[in-house]
Structure 1
């Protein structure tokens, strides 16, 4: 367990050191009015206390991803822990901070509009499609996941629970953000803290440890390769495009730019710690990856959560811990649908102050989501993983372009953007949901795509330096 605590300390240090570097390169302006002050409508644009904004941001982004993803990532071995630490500090934190702060600088616009400001109309349209599809998949996954967990805990009909969760999501989507989300999230946050701390303390007290720290060994029982699958499977907790769709929600509520590092980068760091907890639990709780794989095959990662919580914390503690786990997808599912409403509203220029306008978008949205929810969960999750990381890649490139346009140190966004480009291209070329090409060919083309994207970007940077024209939201 000592390596786990080293990883946690690395993430905390990343917030105070690298997070500050990112903030300085971005160049905040504490005197600049934020969107909640300029465009207050008491529905989506509402000034909120920083602690509340932080909790909402954390619970928005920390869905099933930092639990299910790390459990699945643990099958590959301790390399999952390294990806969480380095991905979170150098990719995920930058991605989340930039998606939030660029939205603050862009009047609280949704992420497709923000990306379009820097990459043009074609990128805006691609982002609109990607974002809506991703958020619908997230919303559906975060209905099915908690419904199955609650069904196991309470012995209730899963379809009934799906209906109840959908009803809550609908209300959270159309009501002012302070009505349900602003009031319930502090309570949900307390459950989240109990779950996280409880699992860690129990692992330590009961003497669990990671059996091997050989990072070169791939322990996946299905012989699935680390590249690129680990970086697609373990997204939330390292880097996740879903986060960029959530950050504009709080960009519309944050009262000062100097709170951005705490809210956006800081929430990513805490999500990374949650991911470390569950990756460590997966690595240490079971005798071998094959044993954990059998539980996953029988009951999805939810089965692992159920076994770990009840075994470590007993029935009462396990019940509370699983409630904490259930909270995470529910508090991301509700804002996933809310974000989708706002993206569509921005795209079609539909004001959202009046309830009738919100219903105009929300009703057909939930009908489509219900139809998707009838499909196979495993297929939905595979498409979610690739679309999620592709969206993250586009946001990183938009961030790099922003820095280049303003003649700032763009490499903090460029390097992770190149890496993620290679990941998503390699994956979609070889995955069964993609072109199903041989791995060697797919990986070669993926790496070449990353290099080519870097060369094209550097040509663009040279043109920006010659023109010396900053972008408007600087």
Structure 2
């Protein structure tokens, strides 16, 4: 199959989703209204609540949610065949992810910018809030710990990416000053920022950075992990306009330039997809496509982490209600386009089926490596960028997005500890520095406590990330559905995807529980059980609330 045709059809479908379906949801279901003041104005504090240009905020939302996961998941899931992966990414993005992100922002805007956990408490009661906080905390712990390990590994594997990855922080800081202190034109700032980023990418291969194999008894990847979390702790305490917003915005533009180059290379070179459309010759030990496809590809189709970002940071910066459509739905669309690019890079970037099979020898193979190597081969063949520079560019793309997700994830984890302090009357947790130290400390404890001196513990819990992520998406849609029902709105557009996700993810949790038991992995068994029990209890409580609201709504209509 020609990859250019698949890419063209996928992009066309997603754009139609934005032009028509998102408009229908925004106007007919959510009734976004610019005359209603948003929390960014009513609760403006210059740190977390900041009215923001929708294009800048789109960059924050998009890059915060589009970490390494929309690359890792799709580039693993193609082992079942490229057709199921493409269909799930395209239709999941249109009918689930976009609606999820936009409606989560809407729910938070209408509730003083509260996080999804706090909204759950006011909508469904304290028990649901407490249970959801457990799921949210574990999800953030997984995201931060895993991405810390992933970025460290990328910086070690591709030393040419170190300079542009860290240099991007300086570029972002300068951009924040230009926009907010000096009121410079966004167009010129964007052009200069993207030019500086790609200048750093060009210089990266000339000045590779390699850490010593050991430093003070720690291996190089452990040193990188500590450096990354030290940075994330500092960044989470800074005002959002100073680093988080501009970094996310410029990274968003950088990704779109990178995607345009990758897409252009596909259209120019038109490589054939060498992987099977549906793989009937699966490696031994590969799990069933049902239901694991729908949790292996989480980010890129629908992701519960998006709800945490949407209600944790994005909703506090929305300038006008109608901006939620562009920021939320189009932000999810951008991630879907990244996931589609990852699928094509991991299936059309190989010379032959044999070469592809040599990489995909067992479930879990491929991942970021297949995206970088396959994408670099396409860029080299299509637009003539040399292999080392192509690999550097794609590594920087993946590392920067994983980094922005870490930035936001640590800030969100800080919010969680602060909310714990408010809920349980523990004033010390309300202090930003204390909450941040606890957030970073728990991530490092997992990384080094479970993984030993190399800090790889985050990867141990990666198998649970997809299921926990999708369950969080279902629970977010559950809360939105209750709010819609209370407001007399049609709920089928959120009820259908949440029901599908609940069935698939609970089924996947049960399958994984059996696997963990056979493997004797007690850490994952305990975490799986905690997540499963919390989810089942939240689901029962939620459907009980839904049933009451439905009966009440029906009664009002009859009278």
TM-score w.r.t. structure 1 length? 0.88
Residue 92 (1) aligns with residue 97 (2): yes
Q: Which structure has the bigger radius of gyration? A: 2
Q: Distance in 2 between matches of 1:381 and 1:433?
A: 16
Correspondent of 1:12 among 7, 15, 21: 15
Alpha-carbon offset, residue 456 of structure 1: 6.3
| Structure 2 residue matching 1:33: 3-state secondary structure | coil
Match of 1:440 in 2: none
Q: Distance in 2 between matches of 1:96 and 1:65?
A: 16
**Deviation per CA, 1:151-181, whole angstroms, max 9, x where unpaired?**
1111443222222211221111111111111
Q: Distance in 1 between matches of 2:458 and 2:440?
A: 18
Correspondent of 1:327 among 400, 403, 408: 400
Equivalent positions of 1:45-444 (< 5 A) are 45-77=49-81, 78-154=83-159, 155-156=210-211, 157-211=220-274, 214=277, 220-222=282-284, 223-248=286-311, 249-286=313-350, 287-288=352-353, 290-294=357-361, 301-313=367-379, 314-349=387-422, 357-374=431-448, 375=451, 376-432=457-513
Q: Distance in 2 between matches of 1:97 and 1:105?
A: 12
Alpha-carbon offset, residue 115 of structure 1: 2.5
Q: Distance in 1 between matches of 2:23 and 2:244?
A: 29
Q: Distance in 2 between matches of 1:233 and 1:355?
A: 35
What is the alpha-carbon root mean square deviation over aligned residues?
2.8
Closer, same or farther: CA 418–321 of 1 in aligned 2, 3 Å: same
Q: Distance in 2 between matches of 1:318 and 1:468?
A: 61
Closer, same or farther: CA 365–276 of 1 in aligned 2, 3 Å: same
- Bigger shift: residues 227-236 or 109-118: 109-118
Alpha-carbon offset, residue 129 of structure 1: 1.0
Closer, same or farther: CA 113–158 of 1 in aligned 2, 3 Å: same
| Structure 2 residue matching 1:291: 3-state secondary structure | helix
Q: Distance in 1 between matches of 2:110 and 2:148?
A: 33
Report if aligned partners of 2:349, 2:373 keep a CA contact under 8 Å in 1. no
Alpha-carbon offset, residue 463 of structure 1: 1.0
Aligned residues: 453
Alpha-carbon offset, residue 188 of structure 1: 2.0
Alpha-carbon offset, residue 92 of structure 1: 1.1
Closer, same or farther: CA 315–415 of 1 in aligned 2, 3 Å: same
Report if aligned partners of 2:345, 2:375 keep a CA contact under 8 Å in 1. no
Structure 1, unpaired ranges of 5+: 438-448, 470-474
Q: Distance in 2 between matches of 1:460 and 1:19?
A: 29
Alpha-carbon offset, residue 220 of structure 1: 4.1
Closer, same or farther: CA 303–294 of 1 in aligned 2, 3 Å: farther
Alpha-carbon offset, residue 145 of structure 1: 0.9
